[in-house]
Chain A
Amino acid sequence: MSTKTSVRVDRVVIRFAGDSGDGMQLTGDRFTAQTAALGNDLATLPNFPAEIRAPQGTLPGVSSFQLHFADHHVMTPGDAPNVLVAMNPAALKANLRDLPRGATIIADADEFTRRNLAKVGYTASPLEDGALDSYQVHALPLTSLTVKALEEFDLTRKEAERAKNMFALGLLSWLYTRPTTATERFLTEKFGARPQLLAANLAAFKAGWAFGETTETFAVAYEIAPAPAPAGTYRNITGNVALAYGLVAAARRAQLSLVLGSYPITPASDILHALSKLKRFDVTTIQAEDEIAAIGAALGAAYGGAIGVTTTSGPGLALKSETIGLAVSLELPLVVIDVQRGGPSTGLPTKTEQADLLQAMFGRNGEAPVPVIAPRSPADCFDAALEAVRIATTYRTPVLLLSDGYLANGSEPWRIPAVATLPDLRVDFATAPNATKDDGTAVFRPFDRDPVTLARPWAVPGVAGLEHRIGGIEKADGTGEISYDPDNHDRMTRLRQAKIDGIDVPLLEVDDPGLADEGIDGAGTGQADLLVIGWGSTYGPIAAGAQVARQAGTRVATAHLRHLNPFPANLGDVLRRYRRVLVPEMNLGQLALLLRARYLVDAVGYNRVRGLPFTSTEIADAIAKLAQEGSL
Chain B
Amino acid sequence: MTIHLAPPAQAVDLGLPAFRSGLDDVPKIPTGADGSPLVKQTKKEFTSDQEVRWCPGCGDYAVLAAVQGFLPELGLRRENIVCVSGIGCSSRFPYYLDTYGLHSIHGRAPAIATGLATSRPDLNVWVVTGDGDALSIGGNHLIHALRRNVNLTILLFNNRIYGLTKGQYSPTSEPGKVTKSTPVGSVDEPFNPVSLALGAEASFVARTMDSDRKHLTAVLRQAVEHRGSALVEIYQNCPIFNDGAFDVLKDRDEAQARLVHLVHGEPIRFGPPGEDGLGTRGVVRAADGHLTVTDVADLTAPGGPGTNGLVVHDATSADPSVQFALSRLDDPTMAHVPVGVFRSVQRPAYDDMVRAQVGSAVERAGGPASDDDLAALLAGKDTWTV
B212: interface (CB < 8 Å): no
Q: Are A467 and B100 in contact (CB under 8 A)?
A: yes
CB distance from B215 to the nearest CB of A (A): 28
Known: A233-B379, A326-B104, A420-B371. A280 touches B361 (CB 8 A): yes
A235: interface (CB < 8 Å): yes
Q: Are A252 and B374 in contact (CB under 8 A)?
A: yes
| Most central of B117, B355, B374 by chain A CB within 10 Å | B374
Interface string of A241-263 (1 = CB under 8 A from B): 00001001100100001010100
CB distance from B357 to the nearest CB of A (A): 6
Q: Are A280 and B362 in contact (CB under 8 A)?
A: yes
Known: A279-B361, A293-B111, A297-B112. A257 touches B119 (CB 8 A): yes
CB distance from A42 to the nearest CB of B (A): 12
Interface string of B234-266 (1 = CB under 8 A from A): 000000000000000000000000000000000
Cα A465 to Cα B98 in complex, Å, equals: 10
Q: Are B77 and A293 in contact (CB under 8 A)?
A: no
Interface string of A207-236 (1 = CB under 8 A from B): 000000000000000000010111111111
B186: interface (CB < 8 Å): no
Interface string of A177-202 (1 = CB under 8 A from B): 00000100100000000000000000
Residues of A within 8 A of B385 (CB): 232-234
Q: Are B100 and A300 in contact (CB under 8 A)?
A: no
| Most central of B94, B110, B112, B355 by chain A CB within 10 Å | B112
Cα A601 to Cα B377 in complex, Å, equals: 45
Residues of A within 8 A of B100 (CB): 461, 467-469
Interface residues of B in 86-101 (CB under 8 A from A): 87, 94-95, 97-101
Residues of A within 8 A of B112 (CB): 296-297, 299-300, 303
Residues of B within 8 A of A282 (CB): 358, 362, 368-369
Cα A297 to Cα B373 in complex, Å, equals: 27
Q: Are A286 and B377 in contact (CB under 8 A)?
A: no
| Most central of B100, B355, B357 by chain A CB within 10 Å | B100
Q: Are B77 and A464 in contact (CB under 8 A)?
A: yes
Q: Are B119 and A304 in contact (CB under 8 A)?
A: yes
Residues of B within 8 A of A469 (CB): 48, 50, 94-95, 97, 100-103
Cα A257 to Cα B361 in complex, Å, equals: 14
A56: interface (CB < 8 Å): no
Q: Are A462 and B111 in contact (CB under 8 A)?
A: no
Choose among A185, A294, A302, A462 the residue that contacts B123 (Cβ–Cβ < 8 A).
A462
Cα A468 to Cα B103 in complex, Å, equals: 11
A416: interface (CB < 8 Å): yes
Interface residues of B in 319-378 (CB under 8 A from A): 354-355, 357-358, 361-362, 364-365, 368-369, 371, 373-375, 377-378
CB distance from A185 to the nearest CB of B (A): 8
Known: A467-B100, A471-B94, A471-B102. A236 touches B382 (CB 8 A): yes
B214: interface (CB < 8 Å): no
Q: Are B103 and A473 in contact (CB under 8 A)?
A: yes
CB distance from B151 to the nearest CB of A (A): 13
Cα A322 to Cα B141 in complex, Å, equals: 15
A39: interface (CB < 8 Å): yes
Choose among A39, A298, A466 the residue that contacts B386 (Cβ–Cβ < 8 A).
A39
Choose among B79, B97, B119, B375 the residue that contacts A259 (Cβ–Cβ < 8 A).
B119
B295: interface (CB < 8 Å): no
Q: Are A300 and B116 in contact (CB under 8 A)?
A: yes
CB distance from A193 to the nearest CB of B (A): 18
| Most central of B100, B102, B119 by chain A CB within 10 Å | B119
A79: interface (CB < 8 Å): no
Residues of A within 8 A of B369 (CB): 252, 280-282
B80: interface (CB < 8 Å): yes
A284: interface (CB < 8 Å): yes
Q: Are B384 and A39 in contact (CB under 8 A)?
A: yes
B105: interface (CB < 8 Å): yes
Residues of B within 8 A of A265 (CB): none
Choose among A249, A293, A463, A472 the residue that contacts B378 (Cβ–Cβ < 8 A).
A249
B144: interface (CB < 8 Å): yes
Residues of B within 8 A of A33 (CB): 382
Residues of B within 8 A of A481 (CB): 50
Cα A182 to Cα B362 in complex, Å, equals: 29
Choose among B368, B378, B386 the residue that contacts A230 (Cβ–Cβ < 8 A).
B386
Interface string of A262-287 (1 = CB under 8 A from B): 00000000000000001111111010
Q: Which residue of B lies closest to A256 (CB)?
A: B119
CB distance from B227 to the nearest CB of A (A): 19
Cα A407 to Cα B171 in complex, Å, equals: 45
Interface residues of A in 385-435 (CB under 8 A from B): 416-420
Residues of A within 8 A of B120 (CB): 304-305, 461-462
Interface residues of A in 22-48 (CB under 8 A from B): 33, 36-39
Q: Are B114 and A286 in contact (CB under 8 A)?
A: yes
Enumerate 30 A-B pairs (CB-CB under 8 Å) in ascending A order.
A37-B382, A229-B386, A231-B386, A233-B379, A233-B386, A236-B382, A245-B377, A248-B374, A261-B111, A281-B369, A281-B377, A288-B111, A293-B144, A296-B114, A301-B115, A301-B119, A303-B102, A303-B115, A304-B115, A305-B120, A416-B379, A418-B375, A419-B374, A419-B378, A463-B79, A464-B79, A469-B95, A469-B101, A470-B102, A472-B103
Contacts A280-B361, A462-B120, A462-B123 known; list 20 others, CB within 8 Å.
A233-B383, A234-B384, A235-B384, A252-B369, A279-B362, A280-B373, A281-B369, A292-B111, A292-B141, A296-B104, A297-B111, A299-B115, A300-B119, A305-B120, A419-B378, A462-B80, A468-B100, A469-B50, A472-B104, A482-B50
Kindly list the 7 A-B residue pairs having the minimum CB-CB distance in the complex, ordered from nearest.
Answer: A471-B103, A300-B115, A296-B111, A297-B115, A279-B361, A469-B101, A293-B111
